[in-house]
A and B are shown apart, each in its own frame.
Chain A
Amino acid sequence: MPTLNDLKPGQSAEILSIGGAPALVQRLYEFGLFEGETVEFLTTAPLGDPIEIRAGNTRLSLRKAEAAGVQVQPK
C-alpha cells in the first residue's frame, strides 16, 4: 500500500489510514488529517528528509519515518 512518501511533488492523494506512535497519530488527527481527507505532497527537503505536505490551507513538515505510517490512495 503506498504511503505519503511514495507520492510525487504536486500529487494529491486520499488518506486511507494513519499509524504510528499515539502522540503522532493524535497530532495528525488534530491537524485534520484523517481517513478520507485529501493531502497534496509538495516537496522533499534538499537533504532528502523531511517532506512538506498540504491539507486544505495547512502546510506541514513530517519526517519520512512519520509519513511512512500514513497510507494513501493516490489520485
Chain B
Amino acid sequence: MTAKPFIVALVGNPNAGKSTLFNALSGLRQHVGNYPGVTVELKKGSTTIGGRPVELIDLPGTYSLAARSPDEMVAVDLLLGRCPEEPRPDVILAIVDASNLERHLYLTTQLMELGTPVVLAVNMVDVAKKQGIAVDVEKLSQSAGLPVVAIQANTGAGLDKLKAALAEAAGQKSPTLAVLPPVIHTEADALHQTYNGDLPPFLARRLLLDVGGYAEKWLTEKHGPSLKATLDSARQRLIDAGHPIPAAEAKARYGWIRQVAATAVTKPSVRAVTATDKLDKVLTHKVWGTLIFLAVMFFVFQAIFVAADVPMGWIDDATGWVAGGVESAMSAGPLRSLLADGVVKGVGGVIKFLPQILFLFGFIAVLEDCGYMARAAFLMDKVMSRCGLNGKSFIPLLSSVACAIPGIMATRVIENRRDRFATILVAPLMSCSARLPVYSLLIAAFLTKDRPFWLPGLMLFAMYLIGFVVAPLVALLLKRTLLRGDTPVFVMELPQYKRPSLRLIVRRMIEAGWAFVRRAGTIILASMVLIWALLYFPHTDAAGQKYEDRIAEVSEQAEKAAVEEEKEKLEQQANEIRGEWKRNSLLGQAGLAMEPAFRPLGWDWQIGVAVLASFPAREVIVGTLSILYDEGDADDEKQERLQNKIASRWADDPVRSKYGVPVALSVMVFFALCCQCASTLAVIRRETRSWWWPAFTFVYMTALAYVAALVVFQVGRVIVDALG
C-alpha cells in the first residue's frame, strides 16, 4: 500500500529541543532546502508512520509568528501554504518545554489560528519534574482542545505516541482558535476585505497587530501611504475600545494560557532553585564569569590554532605525496602540471581548512547546546555594541583570527540580518593563521637581525592589532551606511543549562564540513586552476623551447653531477629557468605591466607578481616569491635561505636597500588588510546568497590594503630620510 505522503511542519521556541526531536524523527534522511532571497535554511527530513510516508519540515526556532524580517516571514508563508515551492503542511507539530510551559504555549496559540491541525509535544518532562513541575497531558489536551503528547526528545521516550497522534491529526478539519478580543477580529476582517487578494485572515490580523512588522512594510510598498492611514485609524479604534496593541494580544493569549494551564500544570508554590540559578550566579558573575569566559575562549582558540595544525599538516603531506605521485607517473606537459599543481594542490588547499571548521563547529555546538553561548554574548555585548554590533558577533570574529571561513559560517547564530552581514564583511580583516607565514618571513628577513630582541614579537602583535582595530571601525562604518537600519531588539533569552547532546554536536560538525566542501570547494578549486593556468602559460621560451624540458634536462645533469659544487650550480640554474618561466607567464607579464601601480608602495615587480598570485590563497606568496627570486619551491629548510635571498636582493636595489623596513611593513600591512582568499569569498557568497557581497568585500578590502600600504611606505620613507 502506497499512500500520498503527508507533510508535518515542526515549530517551536529556540531551545525547546526542536533539532533533537527533528533528528530523532527523521534520522539520517535529511536535506537542506533553500529559498531565494532569504538566508535561512529549512531542513527537511522524511520518515514513515504506520507505513505512510511523512515529510518533515524543520522551521527556524521562533518565539512568535509576528514576523519582522523576510527571514521570519518564510516560516509564516510556509505554514500558510504561500510558498510556491512548498505545499501547505497537513499537520503542525508544536514543541514546547514542560519546565516553561506557559511562555512556550504563546507561540502555540498563534499556530492554532492557522486552521491547520496542531499536535502539541511537551518536551523535557524529566527536567520539569526535577523542578517540581508536573504536566498532566490529558487534562491539557482537554482544556486546550488539541492532541498533547509528553516526550523526551533526547531519549526518544513518547515518540511512538507522538507519531500516532500526527497520523491521526493529518487530514482532519481544524477549528481556528479565537482568543483575541472580538474587536480585533472585526478590524482584521475589515482589512481582509480591503486587501482581499493579498491577505488571508491570519495575515490581516498580523498586519493590524504588528506595528512596523513585515506585513505592514510589505503592503506599504505595494499600496502606498493610504495603507498607513487605514491602519492608524483601525489601531486608534482598538485603543478607544480599551484594547491597545501590542498589549491586547499578549494579554488575551496569556489569559487563555493561564486558564488552560491552571487545570493541567502543578507547580510548587515557591519556585525551586534550579541548577541554572546556581550556575548563572557564577557564570555571569563580574569576576568569576569574566575569568571563566576568558579561559573558555582561550581554550577554544588554542584548540583551533594548535590542535587543528596537526591534521592540517597531514593534509599538506598527503597533498604533496599525491602531487608527487602524479608527477612521477606522468610525463611532463600541461596535463601533468594541471593535475599536480592545479587540481591536487587545489583540492588540498580546500580540504586543508576542514580541521579548523570541524573543531570550531564542534565547540560552537557544545557551547550552544549547553546554553553557554548566550552567556558569552551577554558578557561581550557591551564591547560589540560600541561598533554597532551585538554580543553574538563576538565568537565569529574571534574565530576569524584562526580562519575567517569557520568564523563567517558561525555568524548564523546572529538573527538580525544587518548585524550578521556586517560581521561577515569584517571577519576577513581579522589576521588569520594563513597570514602568519607572510608575517614571519618578512619579520625574520628585515626586523630581526641587529634589532632589539623584543621587536619581532611586537611587530607580530602589531599586525594582529591591525585587524582588531580596523574590523570594528569598518563594521561601524557599514552599520552607518550600507547596512543602516532600525536598531534591532536585543532582548535575548538566556536558556536553561543542559548537558550537550553528542549526536547533535557530531551532526553539526558534519553538516558544517560538508557544506563547506561541497559549495565553497568548487569555487575555490576553479580559482586555483585559473591561477595555475596564468602562471603556466605560455610554457615555451622565446626560442620555442619548453621550460619543462629545459628544467628536466638541467635537473638530470644535476643528479648525475659528481662534484657537489657542480650539482649546486646546476640546481641553481634550474631555479633560474623556473624564475624566467614565471616572469614570462601571463601573470608575470601582468605584474611587469602593473609595476607603476606597485611603485608607490615600494614594491618591485617580483613582490607585485607574488601578491597577484596570492589572491586566491595568501599563503601562496611564500612559494611564489621563492620561485621569482630563483630559489625554487620553498620548504622549511629553504625558508631561511629565502629570507637571506630577499634581504640580499633588496640590498642590491636602490629603493629597497635604503627603505627595506618600510617596504617589508608595506607588504605586511597589505596582507593584513587584503582579502586574498578565494575560499573566504566563496563562503561569503554562500552565506549571503549573493555575488554582490563577496564582490564588495573584495573591492573594499583591496582598496583599503592598497591605501594603507601606500601610507605606510610613504610615511616610512620620510622617517628613514629624516633619520638617515
User: Is A bound to B?
Assistant: yes
Chain A residues with a Cβ under 8 A of chain B: 18, 21-32, 34-35, 42-50, 52, 56-63, 66
Tell me which residues from 419 to 460 in chain B have a Cβ below 8 Å from any Cβ of chain A: none
B325 at the interface (CB under 8 A from A): no
B290: Cβ under 8 A from any A Cβ: yes
CA distance A63 to B103 in the complex (A): 21
Q: Pick the contact of A28: B102, B374, B491, B494 (CB < 8 A).
A: B491
Determine whether the beta carbon of B63 is less than 8 Å from that of A31: yes
Q: Is there a chain A Cβ closer than 8 Å to B363's Cβ?
A: no
Asked if B64 CB lies within 8 Å of chain A CBs, one says yes
What residue of chain A has the Cβ atom nearest to residue B68's Cβ?
A23
CA distance A35 to B491 in the complex (A): 18
Given A26-B210, A56-B102, decide whether A50 and B276 contact each other with a Cβ distance below 8 A: no
* A22 touching B211, Cβ below 8 Å: yes
Interface residues of B in 478-515 (CB under 8 A from A): 486-496
Contact check, B212 vs A22: say whether CB atoms are below 8 A apart. yes
Structural contact, A60 and B492, CB atoms closer than 8 A: yes
Say yes or no: is B83 at the interface (Cβ < 8 Å to chain A). no
Residues 38-78 of B, flagged 1 when their CB comes within 8 A of A and 0 if not, give 00000000000000000000000001101010000000000
B383 within 8 A of A: yes
Contact A29 B249, beta carbon cutoff 8 Å: yes
Cross-chain contact of B247 among A29, A32, A61, A66 (Cβ < 8 A): A29
Which residues of B lie under 8 Å from residue A18 when comparing CB positions? 247
**Option from A32, A35, A50, A58 in Cβ contact (under 8 Å) with B381:** A50
**CB < 8 Å neighbour of A32 from B66, B254, B378, B495:** B254
- What are the residues of chain A within 8 A of B285 when measuring CB–CB? 43
* Neighbour of B246 across the interface among A26, A32, A63, CB < 8 A: A26
Shortest beta-carbon distance, A40 to chain B, in Å? 10
Q: Contact between A49 and B487 (Cβ–Cβ < 8 Å)?
A: no
Question: Which residues from chain B sit less than 8 Å from chain A, CB to CB?
Answer: 63-64, 66, 68, 99-100, 102-103, 106, 131, 210-213, 246-247, 249-251, 254, 271, 274, 276, 280, 284-287, 289-290, 374, 377-379, 381-383, 385, 486-496
Contact B385 A61, beta carbon cutoff 8 Å: no
Contact between chains at A66 and B254 (CB < 8 Å)? no
28 A-B pairs whose Cβ atoms sit less than 8 Å apart in the complex: A21-B489, A23-B68, A23-B213, A23-B486, A26-B246, A26-B250, A29-B249, A30-B106, A31-B63, A31-B103, A32-B103, A34-B250, A43-B285, A45-B284, A45-B379, A46-B286, A46-B289, A47-B383, A49-B382, A50-B378, A50-B381, A50-B382, A52-B280, A52-B284, A56-B100, A58-B493, A59-B495, A61-B378
Task: Give the secondary structure class of A's interface.
Answer: mixed
CA distance A44 to B383 in the complex (A): 14
Contact call B491/A60, Cβ cutoff below 8 A: yes
Determine the chain A residues whose CB is within 8 A of the CB of B254 once the complex forms.
Answer: 32, 34
Known: A31-B103, A57-B103. 17 other contacts (CB 8 A): A28-B491, A29-B250, A30-B63, A30-B64, A32-B103, A32-B106, A42-B280, A45-B381, A47-B379, A47-B382, A49-B385, A57-B271, A58-B100, A60-B493, A61-B377, A61-B494, A66-B491
| 3 tightest Cβ-Cβ pairs between the two chains A and B | A29-B250, A22-B211, A47-B382
- Residue pair B489, A24 in contact (C-beta under 8 Å): yes
- Name the A residues within 8 Å of B63 (CB-CB): 27, 30-31
A32 engages B289 (CB within 8 Å): no
Residue in B64, B378, B383, B488 whose Cβ sees the most chain A Cβ within 10 Å: B378
With both chains docked as a complex, state the minimum distance between the C-beta of B419 and any C-beta of chain A, in angstroms: 13
| Contact A32 B379, beta carbon cutoff 8 Å | no
The one of A21, A30, A46, A63 that contacts B379, using a Cβ cutoff of 8 Å? A46
Residues from chain A with a CB closer than 8 A to the CB of B271 are 57
- Cα–Cα, bound, A21→B210 (Å): 12
How many angstroms from the CA of A24 to the CA of B490 in the assembled complex?
8
On chain B, the residues within 8 Å of A62 by CB distance are 490-491
Let me know if B487 and A21 touch, CB within 8 A.
yes
Taking a contact as CB atoms under 8 Å apart, the answer to whether B490 and A59 are in contact is: no
- Picked from A34, A47, A61, the residue with its CB within 8 Å of the CB of B491 is A61
> A59–B286 contact, CB under 8 A?
no
**Once the chains bind, are B381 and A61 in contact (CB under 8 Å)?**
yes
Residue of A whose beta carbon sits closest to that of B254: A32
Residues of B within 8 A of A24 (CB): 489, 491
**Other-chain contact of A52, B213, B246, B494, B495 (Cβ < 8 Å):** B494
> In the complex, what's the smallest C-beta–C-beta distance from A34 to chain B, in angstroms?
6
Task: Tell me, in angstroms, the Cα distance from A57 to B285 when the chains sit together.
Answer: 20
The distance in angstroms between the C-alpha atoms of A19 and B350, with both chains bound, is 51
Residues of B within 8 A of A46 (CB): 286-287, 289-290, 379
B290 closest partner in A (C-beta): A46
Query: Would you give the shortest CB distance from B487 to chain A, in whole angstroms?
Result: 7
Q: In the bound complex, do residue B103 and residue A58 qualify as a contact, i.e. CB atoms below 8 Å apart?
A: yes
Whether B490 and A56, one on each chain, are in contact in the complex, defined by CB atoms closer than 8 angstroms, is no
Bound Cα distance A45, B491 (Å): 14
- How far does the Cβ of A33 sit from chain B's closest Cβ, in whole Å? 9
How far, in angstroms, from A35 to B212 measured CA to CA in the complex? 22
Closest Cβ neighbor of A35 among chain B residues: B247
CA distance A45 to B381 in the complex (A): 9
Which residue in chain A gives the minimum CB-CB distance to B288? Answer: A46
Looking at B383, B488, B493, B494, the one whose CB has the most chain A CB atoms below 10 A away is B494
Whole-angstrom distance between the Cβ of A66 and the nearest chain B Cβ: 7
Contact A34 B383 (CB under 8 A): no
CB contacts (< 8 Å) of A63 on chain B: these are 381, 385, 490
Contacts of B493 in A (CB 8 A): 31, 58-61
In the bound complex, what is the Cα–Cα distance between A61 and B377 (angstroms)? 9
